[in-house]
């Protein structure tokens, strides 16, 4: 049996837990011979994408997994002292909770723990070099490796959970998943999704307005700060397109919506990985890092995608500070107008990622090799 303990320290509201939730679902779909204990630092965030989660409970059963509140040291320590972790998945360099450190690094602890540091998704070449390498710990009993999700066959790949793939492969399935949400997606519209860290959407609203003169446009805007910023820009001018502010929805419904879009502006680890697989044009708004290192990661992604100079120029400006509003507006209009020309590039990129095989299968194969 695969005995998995999965740690998730929520930093980005839904990106971290979104990935971890998908990871647990994906490995569970591959085998029934699995036990999952999921330890989450922010159950409120988890409940936003999985409505059955009760954020007030210190421990609960969900999808046959045992879900723990990271912050309830007493209950967690009691559980993991009785049954220490065998496979310990540490997602996104999260620090282990103190109560777990006290257990697995105690002088009298004799069990073997196989820890796996599941890293952030990156297109940089070093991902291949670091994938599955050993990493040190302060105990001979805690053995650690690094696992790199990625874009090539020499990395761990991306997650292919069944719900997402069903939506990607069938418009009918995707539309069914949106039943009961009051979200309306029409094939007669050119559908655009906005989910971004941007604070000024003036250039994009102007570009979509111009694009609206040739097509019926509907723009779906993610809830939160993104919506506030986008509608602030809309209020500065008359808009010629439809808008729909999205509610917070469960992960499977969000995935379905992504697959139905004609063009997406996305952020966050989990949504980025999904649009890569959708095979539709998108622009990634990457989380800003010190010394503009995020632009290095962006360039590495451009080299894998190869979507042309206009796309790369827009993507670079879109992720830069300060923003060149006039050039961004011109390029945004050009990309939207040429979305049919861009489409084959994104479809080929998706096909290549799928041909690399699924992360969940690569992960379980590696864990099997450690037993």
Q: Which domains does the chain have, with CATH numbers?
A: 2-158+357-370 (3.40.50), 162-355 (3.40.50.2000)
* pLDDT of 129: 98
Spatial neighbors of 215 by CB under 8 A, at least 6 apart, are: 189, 190
pLDDT score, position 12: 72
Give the pLDDT of residue 163.
Answer: 98
Per-residue pLDDT at 307? 98
- Give the model's pLDDT for residue 369: 97
* CA gap 139, 264 in Å, rounded: 46
* Sites in the chain below the pLDDT cut of 50: none
DSSP character for 86?
Answer: S
186: number of Cβ within 10 Å: 11
- Which pLDDT score, from 0 to 100, does residue 291 have? 87
Q: Facing residues of 61 across strands?
A: 66
User: Residue 140: what pLDDT?
Assistant: 96
Say what the pLDDT of residue 2 is: 95
């Amino acid at each position: 049996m695969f005995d998995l303990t999965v740690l998730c320290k929520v930093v980005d509201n839904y990106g971290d837990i979104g990935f971890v939730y998908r990871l647990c679902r994906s490995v569970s779909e591959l085998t029934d011979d699995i036990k999952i204990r999921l330890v989450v630092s922010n159950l409120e965030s988890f409940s936003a994408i999985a409505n059955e989660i009760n954020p007030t409970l210190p421990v609960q059963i969900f999808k046959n997994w045992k879900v723990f509140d990271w912050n309830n040291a007493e209950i967690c320590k009691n559980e993991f002292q009785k049954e220490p972790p065998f496979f310990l998945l540490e997602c996104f360099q999260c620090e282990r909770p103190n109560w777990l450190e006290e257990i697995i690094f105690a002088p009298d602890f004799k069990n073997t723990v196989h820890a796996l540091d599941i890293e952030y998704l990156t297109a940089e070449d070093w991902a291949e070099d670091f994938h599955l390498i050993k990493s040190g710990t302060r105990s001979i009993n805690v053995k650690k490796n690094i696992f790199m999700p990625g874009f090539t066959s020499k990395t761990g790949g991306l997650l292919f959970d069944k719900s997402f793939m069903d939506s990607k492969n069938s418009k009918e399935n995707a539309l069914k998943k949106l039943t009961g949400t009051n979200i309306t997606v029409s094939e007669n519209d050119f559908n655009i999704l906005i989910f971004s860290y941007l604070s000024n959407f003036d250039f994009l609203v102007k570009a979509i307005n111009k694009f609206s003169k040739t097509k019926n446009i509907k723009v779906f805007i993610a809830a939160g700060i993104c919506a506030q910023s986008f509608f602030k820009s809309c209020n500065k001018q008359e808009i010629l397109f439809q808008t729909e502010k999205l509610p917070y929805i469960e992960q499977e419904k969000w995935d379905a919506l992504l697959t139905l879009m004609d063009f997406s502006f996305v952020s966050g680890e989990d949504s980025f990985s999904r649009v890569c697989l959708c095979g539709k044009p998108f622009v990634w708004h990457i989380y800003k890092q010190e010394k503009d290192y995020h632009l290095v990661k962006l360039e590495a992604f451009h080299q894998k995608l190869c979507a042309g100079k206009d796309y790369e120029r827009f993507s670079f400006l879109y992720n830069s500070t300060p923003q060149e509003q006039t050039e961004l507006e011109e390029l945004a209009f050009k990309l939207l107008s040429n979305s049919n020309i861009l489409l084959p590039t994104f479809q080929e990129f998706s096909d290549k990622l799928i041909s690399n095989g699924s992360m969940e299968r690569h992960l379980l194969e590696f864990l099997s090799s450690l037993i």
